[in-house]
Structure 1
Amino acid sequence: MKVLIIEDEELSAERLENLLRAIDTDIHVLAIIPSVFETISYFQNPTNIQPDLIFLDIHLEDDNGFRIVESLNLMIPIIFTTAFDDYMLKAFKTHSIDYLLKPINPLELQASLLKFRKLREPAKEKKEAPAAGHATEKYKDRFLVSAGPRIFTFKTSEIAYFTIEQRATFLRLFDGRHFAVEYSLEKLTQLLDPASFFRINRTLLISIHAIRDIHTISAGRLKVELDPPASQEVFVSPERITEFKSWLGR
């Protein structure tokens, strides 16, 4: 595996390189580059070897690391490395594999590399195309709700999240209104497109478009800010964090 490390802190770069070699001796670090300018020059030089994977620090000596992705329209998988969690959501909206906070934990690094390898592996079995006349899998795209004597219908794209409150399930729209629905969260996870909705904890099933920001509170703790805001602070269940990150980067 050919890897490019983009990092302006020499000690951090050396530590990452040593961790990579300890995890897999087949990993070859092509170069360690400290700046946005030098990185862009590297990719614009046709004689340079293209990496399979990039480790990209967000705060570089001359600019923000996202400038590289934007300037080159990079489609090479990226694992972001940073001492801050301010850019987690933006990172997962790029072609990223993972987002690692410094100092990098060797086990988290190993898990990120495993995720990269799984994504690179060609599918062992191709799904058969549906036979003529057979419908493809379709997720629920509309919900019927009632409020007093009135009945409303809403597109799924209008829904920010579903939540359990006082043992009942409610949907909350992006405009802030909320209505009771006759479904459990378990049933809703089967009815909704998993590319768009994810159950982050016992009481919340959210749309990816409702995420305003994500913060790492401590090891194994992710706080999510939603729009519209939830009635209380929202955290991803620890056992769902890895799957949640994969969902963000899908």
Structure 2
Amino acid sequence: MNVLIVEDEELSAERLQKLILAIDPTIRVLGMFPSAFETIAYLNNAVNTQPDLIFLDLHLEDDNGFRIVESLDLMIPIIFTTAFDDYMQKAFKTHTIDYLLKPVNPLELQGSLAKFKKIVEAESTAPRLPKYKDRFLVTAGSRIFTFKTSEIAYFTIEERATFLRLFDGRHFAVEYSLEKLSQLLDPVNFFRINRTLLISVEAIRDIHSISAGKLKIDLHPVSSQEVFVSSERITEFKNWLGR
């Protein structure tokens, strides 16, 4: 099991790590972060190993711990560890396993971990439906933005980097390859038409048949380059449009 500790007090973070490993030495602590910004950056990077469980303090050095949950629409299970009980009701409206008050009691922590494992075991035996990404978090300088997938017209490769373009024309870099995005996005709504472009069906304005084996697409917002469907994808593209 992989866990993340989000705690701005270094001694508290180290103590919690020791308690966790004393209960279950097989647990792997991926990292200990003191801020919401660092935690969001880690979780938003597809290259990083994602945690199965997060231990989250509510008062961090730069923001409230709920900022992480709300910015990422986080579905990773959480055990809150805090010195305040004021937020208990709000916490249990998230994907919460438990709410532990500091200083964390080892027996209560053991009970929380046991509860989490039971939930995981129960979920592993239940039939699973695919869960597609419904929002993206991006950074621009010191600012962090989050956008619903429905706001995105298409993803494109430009100068070896991946960008998303919104229907309002704005564009931002994202840390995903188009191949990874094809797995994360609902195939009913998004289709990769060629090597450098993955589009939303809502972004299509016109389709022109240039020849028997070539289709040209007008997108909104307008792309900086002419857009063609790869010849090997035309049949699949037509099937996708006719769903």
| TM-score, normalised with respect to structure 1 | 0.49
**Partner residue of 1:55?**
55
Distance 1:123 1:48, change over 3 A: closer
In 2 relative to 1, CA 92–124 (structure 1 residues): closer, same or farther, beyond 3 Å? closer
**Secondary structure of 2:99's partner?**
strand
Cross-structure match for 1:32:
32
2:122 alignment partner, SS class = coil
Q: Which residue of 2 aligns with 1:15?
A: 15
Shift of 1:124: 8.9
Give the deviation of 1:122 after TM superposition.
3.2
Q: By how many angstroms is 1:63 displaced?
A: 0.4
> Cα distance, 1:44 vs. partner?
1.5
What is the root-mean-square deviation of aligned Cα atoms in Å? 1.7
Unaligned stretches of 5+ residues in structure 2: 127-243
CA deviations 1:33-72 (Å, max 9, x no partner) are 0000101110121111000000000000000000000000
Higher relative contact order (CA 8 A, sep 6+): 1
Partner of 1:172: none
- Alignment partner, residue 43 of structure 1: 43
Alignment of 1:196-207 (within 5 A): none
1:135-146 to 2 correspondences below 5 Å: none
C-alpha distance in 1 between matches for 2:119 and 2:76 = 12
- Partner of 1:60: helix, strand, or coil? coil
CA deviation after TM superposition for structure 1 residue 125, in Å: 7.7
Q: Distance in 2 between matches of 1:66 and 1:123?
A: 25
> 1:107 is matched with which residue?
107
Q: Kindly tell me: are residues 11 and 118 of structure 1, through their superposed partners in 2, closer, same or farther at Cα, counting changes over 3 Å?
A: same
The equivalent residue for 1:208 is: none
Structure 1 unaligned residues grouped into runs of 5+: 127-250
Q: CA deviation at 1:115?
A: 0.4
Q: Does 2:113 match 1:94?
A: no
Aligned residue number for residue 75 of structure 1? 75
Q: Structure 2: how far apart are the matches of 1:68 and 1:123?
A: 24
Q: Can you list the C-alpha shifts for 1:216-236, whole angstroms capped at 9, x where unaligned?
A: xxxxxxxxxxxxxxxxxxxxx
Identity %: 73
Q: In structure 2, what is the Cα distance between the partners aligned to 1:122 and 1:23?
A: 21
Q: 1:105 to 1:124 in 2, by over 3 A?
A: same
Distance 1:98 1:123, change over 3 A: closer
Task: Determine the C-alpha separation between the residues in 2 that align with 1:37 and 1:47.
Answer: 17
Tell me the number of residue pairs that the alignment of Structure 1 and Structure 2 aligns: 127
1:66 aligns with 2:89: no
Amino acid of the structure 1 residue aligned with 2:24: D
Distance 1:28 1:124 in 2: 20
Partners of 1:79 and 1:39 lie apart in 2 by: 15
Q: 1:62 to 1:22 in 2, by over 3 A?
A: same
State the match for 1:122 in structure 2: 122
User: Match for 1:24: what amino acid?
Assistant: D
Matched residue SS, 1:122: helix
Runs of 4+ in 1 over 6 A off after TM superposition: 123-126
Structure 1 residues 83 and 117 mapped into 2: Cα distance closer, same or farther (>3 Å)? same
1:183 aligns to what? Answer: none
